[in-house]
């Protein structure tokens, strides 16, 4: 008798999300993880983010390693939510180039986002250009409240 497939019960219950659904879910999310390369090694950091148009923006300290590590590099933001009671959830990824915002009008827009700093004077804002937006759902739990 073969080993039991732990995902067998979920086959057919995984499904892609379209871009509109992905952006709506990201608009409700407040926490995510940013994946990038630091010293040629993969690194993942938790971040708070908000959307500026369709682009995620996060806030960090100007001298923090995230400013240097992300500026001009392609990064990936991942956000998700799960409902263990209903055995479902969603996951969305945004991949694209990161840009430290310096243009006064765009910086003013970023400062107006509901994006409080976690600590201290996190006055650098980094935007992730949403080149690729993808997502998937698991199960039958509702995605939007």
* One pLDDT digit (tens) per residue for the chain, 145 residues: 455 544 445 444 679 999 999 999 999 998 999 999 988 899 999 999 999 999 999 999 888 788 888 888 999 999 999 888 877 899 999 999 999 999 999 999 999 999 988 777 788 999 999 999 999 998 865 565 5
**Which positions ≥6 away from 11 have C-beta within 8 Å?**
none
Q: What is the CATH number of the domain that holds 23?
A: 2.30.110.10
1, part of any domain = no
- Rounded-to-integer distance, Cα 39 and Cα 88, Å: 36
With tokens 């263990």, the residue in question is 84
Residue 2 belongs to a domain = no
With respect to residue 143, please indicate whether it lies within any of the assigned structural domains: no
**Would you say residue 4 lies in a domain?**
no
- Distance between CA atoms of residues 129 and 109, nearest Å: 15
Q: What is the pLDDT of residue 118?
A: 79
Instruction: Determine the Cα–Cα distance for residues 90 and 95; give it in Å rounded to an integer.
Output: 17
DSSP string for 48-85:
EEEEETTEEEEEE-TTSHHHHHHBTSEEEEEEEEEETT
Quote the number of domains for the chain. 1
Q: Is residue 104 part of a domain?
A: yes
Q: Which residue has the tokens 């400013």?
A: 67
DSSP SS3 for 9 = helix
Q: 114: domain range?
A: 11-136
The dihedral through the CA atoms of 86, 54, 95, 102 has a sign that is: negative
In a domain, 3, yes or no: no
């Amino acid at each position: 008798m073969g080993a039991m497939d732990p995902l067998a019960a979920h086959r057919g219950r995984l499904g892609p999300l379209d871009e509109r659904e992905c952006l709506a879910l990201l608009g409700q999310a407040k926490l995510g993880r940013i994946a990038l390369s630091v010293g040629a090694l993969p690194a993942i950091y938790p971040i708070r983010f908000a959307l500026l148009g369709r682009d995620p923006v996060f806030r960090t300290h100007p001298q923090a390693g995230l400013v240097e590590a992300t500026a001009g590099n392609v990064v990936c933001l991942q956000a998700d939510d799960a409902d263990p009671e209903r055995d479902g959830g969603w996951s969305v990824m945004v991949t694209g180039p990161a840009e430290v915002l310096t243009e006064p009008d765009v910086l003013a827009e970023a400062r107006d986002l509901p994006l409080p700093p976690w600590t201290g004077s996190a006055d650098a804002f980094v935007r992730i250009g949403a080149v690729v937006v993808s997502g998937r759902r698991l199960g039958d739990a509702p995605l939007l409240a």
